[in-house]
Amino acid sequence: MKRSMKRVLAMIFTIIMVLGLVPFKSEEVEAGKKASFKSSILYIEEFKNENASLTTDINNYTKASLGKSVKSTVSTYRVSNSPNEKFIDVWNRMPDDQFIVVINTHGYPDKLLPDGPKTMQQAIYWMLNPPNPLFDVKDINKLKYKKISYIVLLGCNTGHASMATKNLARAFSDRFNTTVIAPDGTDSFWSEGGTYHYKPINDALGEFASYSGGRSTVYGWLAYTPANSSNGYTKAVYQIANGWMYMYTVDKNMAFELKGRYNDSEGTLFEILASYSRHYSKKIR
């Protein structure tokens, strides 16, 4: 499950050096095609409070990467096991052409899960008696094809590197021929002034370790690229910014502004996307 942690700041960078890029596709080409971009957030009720922060990050990243004059709109969709909110149905009703889709639920490597426990006792019971999932990886082909530039999974271990060939991140990347960003680790989260930060960790309950085959070190945020990606990259898994996250904001011209670097893999959604598209990412699979 997600849990709160405090942010630790590290050194401030004075020189911006792009060592190499592993972009999802040519953002300049995308921007030249149209002036309006749609994005979506699929969320469970428990994480509804994150929507405003995620929306701001999506809008800022869209404008910073594609140009401040483009129009960015973000729609939110609640998912649950209720008849009118089932994940597959909600997904299939979304617009077909989108820039970023964020899926903010609980998760296992192969499943998206509904609203979770609120106490440690409930958490232990939840792990021993898993709820009915919102979505199972085996149903990936039931999802209607969408043209999406980025898919971001915020559910715990949905990008678990020890299950890189069969987890949700790989399935979404292959199905929609796009880059999927997901955590290798249990995704902790916290708010700083209303802005949410996310950090994959090796959790105390042992959820991460149960899938890792003995591996104790988490890779942090990973990017899964498809076999037929438009930028020529082959099917692979990259550790975003080599496990570091970079502190980014937007300046008055809606351009990327680098403020420094974290000492680990934490970051806002905007910083995770910027760290991937603007810094070297190491191929691990």
Residue 239 in contact with residue 215, Cβ under 8 Å?
no
pLDDT on residue 32: 54
Partners of residue 238 on adjacent β-strands: 223, 283
Round to whole Å and give the CA distance between 272 and 19: 17
φ and ψ at 214, to 5 degrees?
100, -10
Round to whole Å and give the CA distance between 127 and 118: 13
Mean pLDDT value across the chain: 87
Domain boundaries, the chain: 27-283
pLDDT on residue 27: 52
Can you give the pTM of this predicted structure? 0.86
Cα-based distances in Å from 87 to 18, 75, 78, 96, 221: 38, 15, 9, 16, 24
pLDDT in tens, 18-49: 333 333 344 544 555 678 999 999 999 999 99
Give me the helices (H) in 157-280, please: 168-176, 207-212, 269-278
The residue with tokens 């999506």 is 58
Residue 249 in contact with residue 271, Cβ under 8 Å?
no
**Which residues, 6 or more positions from 15, have their beta carbon under 8 angstroms from its beta carbon?**
none
pLDDT in tens, 144-177: 999 999 999 999 999 999 999 999 999 999 999 9
pLDDT in tens, 232-264: 557 899 999 999 999 999 999 999 999 999 989
pLDDT in tens, 48-83: 999 999 999 999 999 999 999 999 999 999 999 999
Q: Using alpha carbons, select from 97, 182, 75, 103 the residue that is nearest to residue 148.
A: 97
Give me the helices (H) in 67-190, please: 87-93, 120-128, 168-176
Q: What tokens does 95 get?
A: 């617009």
**Pairing verdict, β 111-113 and 135-136:** antiparallel
pLDDT in tens, 101-132: 999 999 999 999 998 777 888 777 777 777 79
Q: What tokens does 33 get?
A: 């095609």
pLDDT on residue 9: 30
pLDDT surpasses 50 at 279: yes
Tally of CB atoms within 10 A around 67: 15
Round to whole Å and give the CA distance between 159 and 284: 13
Residue 146 in contact with residue 96, Cβ under 8 Å?
yes
pLDDT on residue 230: 56
pLDDT in tens, 201-227: 998 888 898 998 888 899 999 999 997
